[in-house]
Chains A and B, each alone.
Chain A
Amino acid sequence: MLEIKDIRKSFGKNEILKGVDLKIDKGDVVVILGPSGSGKTTLLRCINFLEKADSGSALFGETEVNLGSASKKQIYQIRKKIAFVFQNYNLFNNKTALENVTEGLIIGRKVPKNDAIEIGKKALDKVGLSEKYDAYPSELSGGQQQRVGIARAVALNPDIILFDEPTSALDPELVGEVLEVMKNIAKEGTTMLVVTHEMSFAKDVANRVIFMDGGVVVEEGTPQEIFVTPKEERTQKFLKRVLPEDYTFYI
């Protein structure tokens, strides 16, 4: 459904992405792991044109675009198929929770207002925020804000949702509620591409795990293959660092 080929991106002399390929099928939940600075977030941002890649191509269904030189029209077209969940939530501060969800529907996709409100309420119900339709972001906890962020993405009914470290900015005790919501929407068959440091999520929910380091994909496979029988040395070293010695996945 989404196929990225040879995507490259530098910031000044610093080459962040050195030719990454990626293929995602409908219903996939793909988790990208890797040390910080490995280019995971940049990869995600380039797919959505929040960052302009230097080169590379994306095949989206039947539409093929050049990631380095897409026209404005193509960018809008692609963005309509993708939703993005940000690390810092980035909820619209001047809008209520419900308005945050409906904004993209009403203004971006020209959905009639009443329909949009209905979709918006359903999306907020799904993330457990039925009581918070009219709350402003400043009135919500980090976990609640991120759940609104997820509702905002889900409501758009996109082909794929990109998650950029959705729990990294949260207090530890709030991580669970967000992961729970993500698990639920994954179960519904939503196609997801997730950058995260939550190993348990990768293990339990992903059907494919990609390990990135130094701007390239080092290894990819099922969670079983990556976590239990990693082939590459860099993968093994990374896992050793992030997973405690006596870590078992069944705690």
Chain B
Amino acid sequence: MSDGLDFEFLIDTFFVALSGVPIALLITVVSLLIALPLGFLLALTRINKIPVLNRFAQVYVSFVRGTPVIVQIFIIYNSVPLLLSSIFKEYGININVYEINPIWYAFIVFSLNTTAILIEVFRSSISTVSKGQLEAAQSVGLTNVQAFRRIIIPQTLVVALPNICTATVNLIKATSLGYALSLHEITLRAQVAANASYNYVEAYLDIFIVYLIICSLVEYLFKVYEKRLTKYKSAAA
């Protein structure tokens, strides 16, 4: 170990860490694609107090929010293979569960997690759109689905967007826990590089910077999108 920062290592490892970005983003995008519609639908069951589902969503949210993500990862990562292998054995399917790419577990954990967060985000934002908007849409002959797609959801999104942005950024950061699944994402790659030479400070600095860059970029994109969506509100100002 040398004195001071090893700049060459710092720069080399930066690109090593950067090469983990696609996996981190893939997990983020897949999780959001699953969690956004699911969270929205479950939020509706909460608002409309649909018997069983409402209760389910409520319990689900408190379970997910009340436990650390890392523990959720351990539980899914260890229990799903057991479950699958017993199912596969039962039906004589010849797949080795221990050869499944760990990214699938990441998809499961992070979608489940983000869904819970988005249920709450949508629940509060949907209730800001007055019931009169739906009634007006019905009165001019729109079906409920059309009313939601064209009137309610666009207005809901405007209110929800800052919170969706926060959820997305949190999700990106949480993918760093993928190292527990031996996923070769940003954190694990830099860590492995550091293991060889004990340059941990440089490696962690790199990780720090990479997350900072992606998260800032994502926040910027959200801001641009928000500005476009709120056109109808800012018009008055």
State the A residues within 8 Å of B (CB): 48-50, 76, 79-80, 82-84, 86, 88, 90-96, 103-104, 107-109, 135-139, 152, 156
Q: Is the CB of A152 within 8 A of B140?
A: yes
Q: Which of B140, B151, B154 has the most CB of A within 10 A?
A: B140
Q: Is B194 an interface residue (CB 8 A)?
A: no
Kindly state the separation between the CA atoms of A111 and B146 in the bound complex, as whole angstroms. Answer: 15
Q: List 9 A–B pairs whose Cβ atoms lie within 8 Å, in order of A's numbering.
A: A50-B138, A79-B138, A82-B139, A92-B133, A94-B158, A107-B141, A107-B146, A138-B232, A138-B236
Residues of A contacting B137 with CB < 8 Å? 92, 103
Kindly state the separation between the CA atoms of A223 and B140 in the bound complex, as whole angstroms. Answer: 31
Q: Is the CB of B135 within 8 A of A94?
A: no
In the assembled complex, the CB of B39 is this many whole angstroms from the nearest CB of chain A, namely 21
Residues of A contacting B138 with CB < 8 Å? 49-50, 79
Kindly state the separation between the CA atoms of A84 and B135 in the bound complex, as whole angstroms. Answer: 9
- Assign chain B's interface to a size class: 20 to 34
Kindly state the separation between the CA atoms of A90 and B236 in the bound complex, as whole angstroms. Answer: 17
Kindly state the separation between the CA atoms of A179 and B143 in the bound complex, as whole angstroms. Answer: 31
The residue in chain A whose Cβ has the minimal distance to the Cβ of B136 is A90
Residues of A contacting B143 with CB < 8 Å? 76
Residues of B contacting A152 with CB < 8 Å? 140
Residue of B132, B154, B236 near A88 (CB, 8 A) is: B132
> Majority SS of interface residues in chain B?
helix
Q: Is the CB of A104 within 8 A of B142?
A: yes
Those 6 A-B pairs whose CB atoms lie nearest each other, nearest first: A104-B140, A108-B141, A90-B132, A90-B136, A84-B139, A138-B236
Kindly state the separation between the CA atoms of A82 and B133 in the bound complex, as whole angstroms. Answer: 17
Kindly state the separation between the CA atoms of A104 and B158 in the bound complex, as whole angstroms. Answer: 23
Q: B133-186: which have CB < 8 Å to A? A: 133, 135-143, 146, 150-151, 154-155, 158
Contacts A93-B232, A103-B150 known; 16 new A-B pairs at CB < 8 A = A48-B139, A50-B138, A50-B139, A80-B141, A86-B135, A90-B130, A90-B132, A90-B135, A92-B136, A92-B137, A94-B158, A95-B232, A104-B142, A136-B236, A138-B235, A156-B141
In the assembled complex, the CB of A159 is this many whole angstroms from the nearest CB of chain B, namely 13
The residue in chain A whose Cβ has the minimal distance to the Cβ of B149 is A107
State the B residues within 8 Å of A (CB): 130, 132-133, 135-143, 146, 150-151, 154-155, 158, 232-233, 235-236
Kindly state the separation between the CA atoms of A50 and B140 in the bound complex, as whole angstroms. Answer: 12
Residues of A contacting B151 with CB < 8 Å? 92, 94-95, 103
Q: Is the CB of B133 within 8 A of A156?
A: no
Q: Is the CB of B139 within 8 A of A103?
A: no
Kindly state the separation between the CA atoms of A79 and B233 in the bound complex, as whole angstroms. Answer: 30
Kindly state the separation between the CA atoms of A80 and B146 in the bound complex, as whole angstroms. Answer: 15
The residue in chain A whose Cβ has the minimal distance to the Cβ of B139 is A84
Q: Is the CB of B232 within 8 A of A136?
A: yes
